[in-house]
Chain A
Amino acid sequence: MANLPVSTVFTDGNALSAADLTTLKTGINQTYSTTYPNQLSFLSMSDSVLRPVPFATSTDKLSFSTNVNAGAGTGATVTFARSTRFTQNPIVTVTAETSPSTAYASTNAALVTTTGFTWRIFNVGSTTITSYYIHYHAIQMTSAAADNN
């Protein structure tokens, strides 16, 4: 396997030696710049496979106690906590957890920037939504892009 650190096992419980640090740094640089540009990855010791780690993420659960009538919708803008963590517009996935649980809702991210996003919820069923949570997951996979495909 090309471009992996030449050493991936270090003495547990002890400070890394200068030589180990150099080895680790060299290996990370090789992996970072050659195998997966801009992509932080870790090497799984069980199967020696490099697995990508997100550059930045944010997840949250927002609670609302307002009605959303059948055939109606609403929305709001949310700023990310520690809003400097994203350097590219992240991929944002939004979903709703509704009460009553028999309700049907459609949700979407309407506008996404590095500082926040606008979400919307629309009641597509026939039951009034009396309260709901908005769950979201924002993710930026590499330092250069939201996705890593």
Chain B
Amino acid sequence: MLWNLTCHTPECVNDNFTVQFPDPEPLVICGGCHQEITDKSPTETKES
């Protein structure tokens, strides 16, 4: 499952930038600021 991961560290190069990653580990670290990313949510999936 794809997850949206968004860093919210001020002045981080990834601040407010959302990336998608499949099945991330419980601990997700932003490579821009080395802070934990806590804004994590599954991407919406379409029901057929």
Contact = CB atoms under 8 A, between A and B. Distances in A.
Contacts, number: 61
Interface of A is mostly: strand
Contacts of A63: 34
A113 B31 contact: no
Q: How large is the interface on B (under 10, 10 to 19, 20 to 34, 35 or more residues)?
A: 20 to 34
Chain B interface SS verdict (over half): loop
A79 B31 contact: yes
How many interface residues does chain A have, given as a range?
10 to 19
B13 A115 contact: no
A16 interface: no
B27 A77 contact: yes
A76 B24 CA distance: 8
Given A81-B13, A82-B13, A83-B14, A118 B19 contact: no
A75 B26 CA distance: 9
B14 A76 contact: no
Nearest to B5: A79
B29 A62 contact: yes
Nearest to A77: B24
A147 interface: no
Interface string A28-62: 00000000000000000000000000000010101
